[in-house]
Amino acid sequence: MKLLVTGATGFIGSHFLRAAFAAGHEITALRLPGTQPVVPIGTDEYRASNVESSAPATHHALPATLRWLDGTLDSVTVENLTGQDALVHLAAYGVSPQPCTWEKAFQINVLDSILLMERAIECGMQKIIVCGSCVEYGKSAERYENIPPDAPLEPVGHYAASKAAQSLAASALCREKGVNLAILRLFTVFGEGQHPDNLWPSLKKAALAGEDFPMTPGEQIRDFIPVEEVAQSFLKTLATSHSIPGTPLLANIGTGNPQTLRAFVEHWWNQWEATGKLLPGTLPYRPNEVMRYVPEVGKRLKG
């Protein structure tokens, strides 16, 4: 299948590219100029080709079926989109712990994203998969033992609000244009290549350095899912006839095995045989912290 992938050098994007190449897909990958995949996604027997790019080849050797497209969401042209079978939209602005503003979050995550989807549809693309987030549920998450895909969206903050708005706008566009759309809402993803200030990478760094690890009391309940499983979820959705044209599909992506943040931290601390001490309760919870994000998994809502 020929795919146009946004956010291709990011945490989830890099892992998705690796999995997509292993599955035999041909990919045009959008990246910001000068960025590289955060994890290796190819082998030395291949080389990368560039599309509309004067940037040097990445330091990781990549499959020859990969074509880089340097630019932003609003720079993708009809020529780039024509002939593609599906759009996999992974790019997002303001993912924690990166800084975020209301204006830029809505410009990129809503306006630019919807315009890209609309342009893709005009070029004949019939399948779009969007990377959503559990933070779209926001405060409504605390009213559920397991959050269903049709739970109300009550986001807190600019990033969460922009992702919820993106879901609503993409669903409306899907109904209007009669295309296949899937929105996969990811729960707490972790793994190699994640931003170093996120929980798992910072925990690993402290453990391997023999340092103590300050943390909140750790009573938050989360569904922690390895990034490799997330990549496979996108691939499975691509491979299936996931929805009726004009009927958006919503799905939660998690493991179905919730645990407290403290239990998760203790597991990995022991796994890495850390010599430092965990220091629960030395950091406060975030303002407006949602204490429970646990998905109902396995259910794919068509709505």
* CB-neighbour burial class of residue 213 (10 A; exposed 0-12, middle 13-18, buried 19+): buried
Burial class (CB in 10 A: 0-12, 13-18, 19+), 86: buried
Split into its structural domains, the chain has a count of 1
Residue 58, pLDDT > 70, answer: no
**pLDDT tens digits along 234-250:** 999 998 865 678 899 99
Q: What does pTM read for this prediction?
A: 0.91
Residue 273 lies in a domain: no
Question: Is residue 24, in this structure, part of any structural domain at all?
Answer: yes
How sure is the predictor about 101, in pLDDT bands with cuts at 50, 70 and 90?
Answer: very high
* Mean pLDDT, rounded, for 60-76: 80
Mean pLDDT of 17-31: 94
**Full DSSP string of the chain:** -EEEEESTTSHHHHHHHHHHHHTT-EEEEEE-TT---SS--S-TT---EEES--SPPPSS---TTEEEEES-GGG--HHHHTT-SEEEE---S--TTS---HHHHHIIIIIIHHHHHHHHHHTT--EEEEEEEGGGTBGGGGG-SSB-TTS--B--SHHHHHHHHHHHHHHHHHHHHT-EEEEEEE-EEE-TTS-TTSHHHHHHHHHHHT--EEE-----EE-EEEHHHHHHHHHHHHHS--S-TTS-EEEEE--S--EEHHHHHHHHHHHTT--S-EEETSSPPPTT---EE-B--S-EEE-
In a domain, 265, yes or no: no
Q: How high is the pLDDT of residue 91?
A: 97
Q: Give the chain's mean pLDDT.
A: 90
Q: What gap in Å lies between CA 68 and CA 39, rounded to an integer?
A: 16
Report yes or no on 213 lying in a domain.
Answer: no
- pLDDT at position 241 is 63
Is the pLDDT at 59 greater than 60? The verdict is no
pLDDT class for 185, splitting at 50, 70, 90? very high
| In-domain check, residue 53 | yes
User: In this predicted model, what pLDDT tens digit does every residue of 134-162 receive, in sequence order?
Assistant: 999 999 999 999 999 999 999 999 999 99
Q: In this predicted model, what pLDDT tens digit does every residue of 186-225 receive, in sequence order?
A: 999 999 999 999 999 999 999 999 999 999 999 999 999 9
pLDDT of residue 302: 58
pLDDT > 50? residue 92: yes
Q: What is the pLDDT of residue 54?
A: 35
Q: In this predicted structure, what is the pLDDT of residue 51?
A: 40
Q: Which of 62, 118, 86, 55 is nearest to 240 (CA)?
A: 86
Do residues 207 and 213 make contact, with C-beta atoms less than 8 angstroms apart?
yes
pLDDT at 107: 98
Asked if pLDDT for residue 266 goes beyond 90, the answer is yes
Range of the domain at 183: 2-191+223-255+294-302
Tell me whether residue 71 is in a domain: yes
State the CATH number of the domain containing residue 248.
3.40.50.720
Give percent of the chain with pLDDT exceeding 90: 80
Structural domain contains residue 102: yes
Q: Is residue 278 part of a domain?
A: no
